[in-house]
Structure 1
Amino acid sequence: MPLVTKWTGREVKALRESVRMSLMEFAEKLGVSDRIVSRWEADGERASIRMINQAALDTLLAKADKDAQGRFVGILAADDAPIHSIIEPGSGETSSGDYVKHPGDGKLMAHVPEGIYLSGADSEPVWVDDFHIDTFPTTNADYARFCAATRYAVPEHWENGRCPRDLYDHPVVHVTWRDATAYAAWAGKSLPTSEQWEKAARGTTGRTFPWGDQKTAAKCNVRETGIERTTSVSRYHSGVSPYGVYDMVGNVWEWLATATTAGRHELRGSAFTSPLFRGVPAVPNDAYDTMLDDDTGFRCVATPEQMMPGGQ
């Protein structure tokens, strides 16, 4: 099932069209007036939707049949890419929809089963044990909860120590590798190894990008997309990986557990500041673990033991 971390008028209109309801029918399902739905759609991404209505939209999407869910992704993909198609997983790969919440930080995680995947530019077979990976990068809202719980220093660019409300569902940035590791330890998780991250991004069959082999910059937030800032972590529905993981290319570079030399660790995935070719999941980057920037964040992974309440 597709996921939406923050509903705006853009997603509301896509859902209404995908379930093929009139404004009045759709509003009745949600328990609001048709004027409210009309205003949401007119406001687009600027729409402010109350949490109780966000929950009702989550429920309506979850209860929609598979065809409607497919149409929902396709309608949103029309904004993201010139080729309006739904990417199907290859043989032996899982599709999006099998998500569970981690008992530590409560984030949704996707399961990546054990087995061999084709790694690197030469597609060498590599075995990886099964694990779960955050469906979305760590957001500002996630990081704010961590800082509040541990009194950890907040990112330096937050005004008066608080993240702007309109960036809650954007990836946290201005975090060092050490900051990312501290969050992971608090949550009872780890940073991904390069092998874990690459398999979650590419699947098992050696595809170039999470969505396939097409060089389609509109499926992610990279330099060619022209947005020039971070975006909501759930924006690019047409760019998800075979395991249903979002933003594995673009938006922000992601810190990994894998060290390259003393004091340096891998980064992967590219960012809104970098061209699409830098985001090829098989191609590593690295930086000093004290580096922080406006285009660098992270996500976490968990072993089966770490998925258990109180597990480490």
Structure 2
Amino acid sequence: MNNPITKLLASYFAGAFGLLQIVDIAIDRLSLPVEILNYLLILTVVGFVGILTYSVFPSLIKANKPDVKQKKSIISIVVIVMIFTLSVSNIFLFRESSLSDVRNEAYSSGFALIDNLTENERYIEAYQLANSYHEKLPKDSLVLKKLNQSSLEVNINSKPEGASIFYSDLDSDEWVFVGKTPTKARIPGINSGARGYIKFKLAKEGYKDYLSLTTAGLIGRVSFNKEKYSLIPISHKNTNMVQVPKGPTRLFVSELGDLNIVNLESYWIDKYEVTNEQYQSFINAGGYKKREYWDIILNEDGNTISWEQGMSIFVDKSGLNGPSTWTNGTYEVNKKDFPVLGISWYEARAYAKWAGKSLPTIYHWYKAAMFWGESGAISPRSNFSGSPSEVGKFSIFSSYGCYDMAGNAREWGTNPHKNGNRSVMGGGYDDDTYYFTDNFSQHPINRYKTNGFRCVIIPENETNLASADTLIQSYTRNFYSHKPISDEVFNIYNGMFKYDKTPINATIIEDRIDINDAWYKQVVEIDAAYNEERFSLNIFIPKNENPPFKTVVYVPGSGSITSRNSKNLTGNRMGFLMRSGYALIIPIYKGTYERGYPEFPNYVENKSKVYADQMIMMVKDYSRAIDYVEEQDDLSNSVYYYGISWGGMLGPLFLANESRIKKAVWQVAGLGARETRPEGNPLTFLSRINKPVLMLNGIYDQYFPFETSQKPMYDLLPLKEPMKKMITYKSAHSPPASQTSKEVLQWFRE
């Protein structure tokens, strides 16, 4: 053996050590797998064995007796190996020390943060944090548990294969690449169809992007059912349309929830609302001059008018044929991609026929709009801003990739209503967000400024079209013929709302959540008055006023029934109360938010005992909230009732059966026409109210018509003015907030 071998080994180990250091740094900087370092070390050892085998050992074998020089070389080799071993050990010891720091961080604060993020359904952030720990601590069982808590491992496949998979946060346009189909991948979220919504995309060259508002659980369900995501070629004739798969369709919409499930064949629906530019093409093609596109036209009295009379009505601001919002036969400059607005049902139908399509039934429209509970994700991110926008500008889309299903334009449907109206869905840019989940109707000749539409293509083999295009029942009732109940009967019903006074056993869940500079939120859990249940109170407390605070206990609209998440309640809509020194309490009533249950799917009144018991439990929850108020030094015993929409409609139940309420506001409220058991019917208790009531209503309200619902409710209140007061606005179900807030404050202060 000679000196060059020693130099070779020294150079080899020096180079190997340098490479290990570079790779060690790269692993941290580029988040590469730690296993790379292990594999590289194995290769280094293999190389060392190779040098020994082919260079060192042959020299030793040839030498009969090592001389002093050879012995020194052997010692040098041993020293080099020892130095290399110690140096490499230092790398691994340092890395183990770093991993120990990571483990300490995860155990001391990281896991708690992941828990908090998942509790607030911020699954993407929770997953990213858990995954960062898992990459460094892949064998740690607790880290793996947190990873599984924040994400779901699912199989994803497409037809054709090779599609790139992405997901995105609802409020972000940045897509995270996951892999290519077919693959098994982790998706942020849990095994739920209504928790942890994300935007999901499949992309492949030559095909339209597949878009879906979905959850990890729903993605997993596709694989479980051995289904594949189908991609549509760009060359397909149905441009800017999405395909909705066949299957049973149920309406998760207020007032329509009791309609039958209908099996629909697969169909196509416009990805966007029909635009000004598209409608201009219809006009330019003589759409208003060709009778074959037009249905028989009825005026507002239900009488048939001639086609010529109809065309004289369907004109723009200048008198030319076209939407009511246009001028001189065309749309405003730079608004070609805005939805066409100011359209009657007849005009929408004519366009659809010209385009070789049709208007959707309520079943076809709502299936494309909502799988089940997406309204909480879609509505607040849609255009209810007060002015129209380009189609698709708001980046939220439905479970099948349709844009602007909520807000922007109200969209006509085909379904007739018994009162002569036609369905209008989704709500317009000047409506409230809950319009998305409420069905309402307008006369087909109506040309309101937010009326628009989108089209569908329904296959010829659809056998259930008649069922989907069902007549919608409009319930009416002569409330003035109702006879007030006697004292004896009232005492019987009132007894159903009473309960034995027991400790509320309050527990603070969230002590202080800062909402803004004017108020903070506290979440307290208390005992219910029935079934050994507990429920939460969301309490919004002023920051800039001194206690004790007068307290408003709120009863929400019907959106609280279909929503399953109360954690995001901020009190913003009632912010004027906290800024004026009032505390606001929003109880999580039985049947709302997380306390929903299948037997109470919507607010539609019915004769079941379940419905009546639901009303009684809600009133008891309200009373328990007052029990809590009475035990708090910071809250005054002056309690005010504030109910909006459904919460206003139920007002008589609460005021007649809870004597501690000082005053009440019923906003956009009216009497419901459907029959219910008397103990659960607001009409039963209307004549028993003796506390001041303010009603704030829109005279064009589509849910509670003024003459047949609002006015009877007000007239049958047994109070004399000024103990009762009604203010109406020239609006629908959403009077101007700046005006209603002023009236609410003035009423509570008087």
TM-score by length of 2: 0.27
Q: Distance in 2 between matches of 1:272 and 1:254?
A: 11
Q: Distance in 1 between matches of 2:436 and 2:230?
A: 21
Question: Which residues in structure 2 correspond to 1:88-167 (within 5 Å)?
Answer: 88=214, 90=218, 91-92=221-222, 98=232, 107-121=239-253, 122=257, 125-152=261-288, 153-167=321-335
Question: Which of 432, 439, 445 is equivalent to 1:275?
Answer: 432
**Contact between 2:348 and 2:359, CA under 8 Å: does it hold in 1?**
yes
User: What is the letter of the counterpart of residue 268 of structure 1?
Assistant: M
Q: Cα distance, 1:192 vs. partner?
A: 0.3
Q: 1:84–1:261: structure 2 CA closer, same or farther, 3 Å change rule?
A: closer
**Structure holding more strand per residue:** 2
Q: Cα distance, 1:100 vs. partner?
A: 6.6
Ranked by relative contact order (alpha carbons within 8 Å, sequence separation 6 or more), the top structure is 1
**Contact between 1:260 and 1:286, CA under 8 Å: does it hold in 2?**
yes
Q: Distance in 2 between matches of 1:278 and 1:101?
A: 36
Q: Distance in 2 between matches of 1:95 and 1:167?
A: 35
Q: Please state whether the residue corresponding to 1:111 is helix, strand or coil.
A: strand
**Contact between 2:323 and 2:343, CA under 8 Å: does it hold in 1?**
yes
Q: Does 1:295 align with 2:453?
A: no
Q: Cα distance, 1:119 vs. partner?
A: 1.9
The answer for the alignment partner of 1:13 in structure 2 is: none
User: What is the letter of the counterpart of residue 360 of structure 2?
Assistant: P
Question: Which of 379, 383, 386 is equivalent to 1:221?
Answer: 383
**Contact between 1:249 and 1:271, CA under 8 Å: does it hold in 2?**
yes
Q: Please state whether the residue corresponding to 1:237 is helix, strand or coil.
A: coil
Q: 1:96–1:216: structure 2 CA closer, same or farther, 3 Å change rule?
A: farther
Percent pairwise identity: 28
Q: Cα distance, 1:76 vs. partner?
A: 3.6
The answer for the alignment partner of 1:241 in structure 2 is: 398
Q: Please state whether the residue corresponding to 1:119 is helix, strand or coil.
A: coil
The answer for the alignment partner of 1:75 in structure 2 is: 172
Q: Distance in 1 between matches of 2:264 and 2:356?
A: 20
Q: Cα distance, 1:237 vs. partner?
A: 1.9
Q: Distance in 2 between matches of 1:200 and 1:245?
A: 7
Q: CA RMSD in A?
A: 3.2
The answer for the alignment partner of 1:230 in structure 2 is: 388
**Contact between 2:287 and 2:351, CA under 8 Å: does it hold in 1?**
no
**Contact between 1:253 and 1:267, CA under 8 Å: does it hold in 2?**
yes
Q: 1:292–1:156: structure 2 CA closer, same or farther, 3 Å change rule?
A: closer
Q: 1:119–1:183: structure 2 CA closer, same or farther, 3 Å change rule?
A: same
**Contact between 1:94 and 1:243, CA under 8 Å: does it hold in 2?**
no
**Contact between 1:74 and 1:85, CA under 8 Å: does it hold in 2?**
no
Q: Which runs of 5+ in 1 are unaligned?
A: 1-63, 307-312
Q: Distance in 2 between matches of 1:142 and 1:251?
A: 17
The answer for the alignment partner of 1:57 in structure 2 is: none
Q: Cα distance, 1:176 vs. partner?
A: 0.3
Q: Distance in 2 between matches of 1:302 and 1:182?
A: 15
Aligned length: 222
Q: Distance in 1 between matches of 2:374 and 2:170?
A: 21
User: What is the letter of the counterpart of residue 281 of structure 2?
Assistant: R
Q: Distance in 2 between matches of 1:135 and 1:200?
A: 10
Q: Could you list the per-position Cα deviations for residues 253-280 of structure 1 after superposition, in whole angstroms to 9, with x for gaps in the alignment?
A: 1000110126310011011111111111
Q: Please state whether the residue corresponding to 2:441 is helix, strand or coil.
A: strand
The answer for the alignment partner of 2:205 in structure 1 is: none
User: What is the letter of the counterpart of residue 241 of structure 2?
Assistant: M
User: What is the letter of the counterpart of residue 232 of structure 1?
Assistant: E
Q: Distance in 1 between matches of 2:365 and 2:276?
A: 21
Q: Please state whether the residue corresponding to 1:132 is helix, strand or coil.
A: strand
Q: Distance in 2 between matches of 1:196 and 1:166?
A: 32
| Deviation beyond 6 Å, 4+ runs, structure 1 | 93-97, 99-102
The answer for the alignment partner of 2:344 in structure 1 is: 176
**Contact between 1:100 and 1:110, CA under 8 Å: does it hold in 2?**
no
The answer for the alignment partner of 2:53 in structure 1 is: none
Q: Please state whether the residue corresponding to 2:269 is helix, strand or coil.
A: strand
Q: Cα distance, 1:293 vs. partner?
A: 1.2
Greater C-alpha Rg: 2
Q: Please state whether the residue corresponding to 1:231 is helix, strand or coil.
A: coil
Q: Cα distance, 1:158 vs. partner?
A: 1.9
User: What is the letter of the counterpart of residue 406 of structure 2?
Assistant: V
Q: Please state whether the residue corresponding to 2:248 is helix, strand or coil.
A: strand
Q: Please state whether the residue corresponding to 2:334 is helix, strand or coil.
A: helix
User: What is the letter of the counterpart of residue 114 of structure 1?
Assistant: K
Q: Distance in 2 between matches of 1:101 and 1:304?
A: 20
Question: Which of 410, 413, 417 is equivalent to 1:256?
Answer: 413
The answer for the alignment partner of 1:199 in structure 2 is: 367
Q: 1:111–1:100: structure 2 CA closer, same or farther, 3 Å change rule?
A: farther
Q: Please state whether the residue corresponding to 1:116 is helix, strand or coil.
A: strand
Q: Could you list the per-position Cα deviations for residues 19-46 of structure 1 after superposition, in whole angstroms to 9, with x for gaps in the alignment?
A: xxxxxxxxxxxxxxxxxxxxxxxxxxxx
Q: 1:84–1:190: structure 2 CA closer, same or farther, 3 Å change rule?
A: closer
Q: Distance in 2 between matches of 1:84 and 1:76?
A: 15
TM-score by length of 1: 0.62
Q: Distance in 1 between matches of 2:333 and 2:267?
A: 32
Q: Cα distance, 1:130 vs. partner?
A: 1.4
Q: 1:149–1:216: structure 2 CA closer, same or farther, 3 Å change rule?
A: closer
**Contact between 1:100 and 1:108, CA under 8 Å: does it hold in 2?**
no
